[in-house]
Amino acid sequence: MEHFHNIFILWTILLVTIEKGFIAEGLGVNWGTRATHPLPPDIVVKMLKENGFNKVKLFEADPGVLKALGRSGVQVMVGIPNDMLATLSANVRAAEQWVQQNVSSFISKNGVNIRYVAVGNEPFLKAYKDTFLNTTYPALENVQAALIKAGLGRQVKVTVPINADVYQTDTGVPSGGNFRSDIHGLMMKIVKFLSDNGGPLTINIYPFLSLYADPHFPMDFAFFSGTSSPVVDGTISYTNVFEANYDTLVWALEKNGFGSLPVIVGEIGWPTDGDSNANIEYAKKFNQGLLDRISRGIGTPKRPTPPDIYIFGLVDEDAKSTEPGNFERHWGIFYYDGAIKYQLNLGNNQTLKPAKGVRYLARKWCVMAPDANVMDPNLPDSINYACTYADCTSLGYGSSCGGLDVKNNASYAFNMYYQTMNQQKGSCERFHNLSVITTIDPSPSSSNFGRTSSNCRFEIMIDVGRHETKVNPGTSSATKIKHYFSLLLFVLVVVITEM
């Protein structure tokens, strides 16, 4: 009986270990680097590990980022930007060189755990007007051929991240789902190719954009607790747009003979600024609902097993294009500097942890001079100049700093320019004697540096020149869990054998 008691204890520990490791093993995030003052990659990798993000999706093969991910245990999906598709589609040799430089080299020399290569990013988006229609599939073929030639055909899989606008439903319910008629043939070629080569299809789903595009879109249906406006599809009632959207794709795949093709959710999230519906309250509500689904293992009615999900995104990016909207620079669950915007429960009583070791520029801000007149004829041009070269998206209507008066509005613009220019001498003197440097934090209701009782922050940028690049941050929590798991199995086998 004592042997059985020991086995029971060991098995209980094993189950607890598996349960505690679930979040760490299954949580992915997008790491974008379009920032004027990006966090040092080694700090980001440490932040990923401390928060249990063990899968990361990159939009391009940044050497510094990939080196930092070396031997970290973090699984990597590395992206190929759309503007490279033409080159890679025209010449298989170009694809071979890209794979050698950005995949093979980092796997063999740096120990980067690259699992996927994402060929393009939403290349069939209607806004692109067929720009990448003829290059995506040939590029996909050439990259796959290059991976096989490099001996990585089994280890690294290709995928194509697509936007949800590549499929639609004519019936208004998921079961009516099919691919857009104008690209149906092309999608079939891609889907078949992925199926033949063991690659998944990657889909980006943005409930926020549904709300942004249609002011009459039912608010609760955008989140994970919607009940007032369900979409009824036969015996199934869809209470949130994520499940309805995902299952529309699954129906499209089934109708075309690929019902078992793996699907990854490559991007999903909620922005915190740049629009009246982009705020911390809604972002926390959405992302917490998403994390709860992941931790509970909830899939969709068509696919009860949850897919791999990559949250969008990790940190804010102040150099992203604002063509889709001002919110584009505010998708991060962390601020640009790795500070926590809002707290999330990651499961097992784990909460978000901020970046550590971040170094900032000097504690000073550029603001409108106390004696400057808001009626000065040079003020509009000065604000416009500042916002042309710096990020002023938080000043828009409904945004976090949208309620500032004229003077504070100007101060925000002047400071963003000053910080973006690394507080260089003369950068606060460009505004026709309307500005002055201060060492007192001008953030509304500020109590100390960088944290305010409101959500409007007058930033001080990261001092990128003071950070040393460090790589190989060590073993991830996921790797440690796997080692512990293997050890417990070994002990369990020994105990049983001795019986």
pLDDT of residue 454: 72
- pLDDT value of residue 227: 76
Task: Profile the chain (499 residues) by mean pLDDT over runs of 10 residues.
Answer: 42 38 64 97 98 97 98 98 98 97 98 98 94 98 98 98 96 97 97 98 97 92 85 96 97 98 98 96 97 94 96 98 96 98 91 97 98 97 98 95 96 98 97 98 64 75 74 38 35 37
Whole-model pTM: value is: 0.88
The predicted structure's pLDDT at residue 341: 96
User: 195 in the Ramachandran plot: left (φ > 0), alpha (ψ -120 to 50) or beta?
Assistant: alpha
> What pLDDT, on a 0 to 100 scale, did the predictor assign at position 445?
65
Please tell me the predicted confidence (pLDDT) of residue 349. Answer: 84
Report the catalytic residues.
Answer: 122, 267
pLDDT of residue 450: 38
Q: Write the DSSP assignment of 118-131 as a string of letters.
A: EESSSTT-GGGTTT
Helical pair 136-149 and 184-196, crossing angle rounded to 10 deg: 10
Number of other CB atoms surrounding residue 109 within 10 Å: 10
Specify the DSSP class assigned to residue 71: T
In sequence order, what are the residues at sequence separation of 6 or more whose Cβ sits closer than 8 angstroms to the Cβ of residue 13?
A: 488
Determine the Cα–Cα distance for residues 438 and 441; give it in Å rounded to an integer.
8
Phi, psi of 79 (to 5 degrees): -100, 155
How far lies 317's CA from each of 33, 270, 328, 422, 444, in Å?
A: 7, 14, 8, 16, 23
CB count, 10 Å around CB of 143?
Answer: 26
Own/partner long-range contacts of 15-22 (Cβ < 8 Å, ≥24 apart): 17/481, 17/484, 17/485, 17/488, 18/485, 19/348, 20/348, 20/481, 21/478, 21/481, 21/485, 22/295, 22/297, 22/347
pLDDT at 455 (0 to 100): 86
Please give the single-letter amino acid code of residue 336: Y
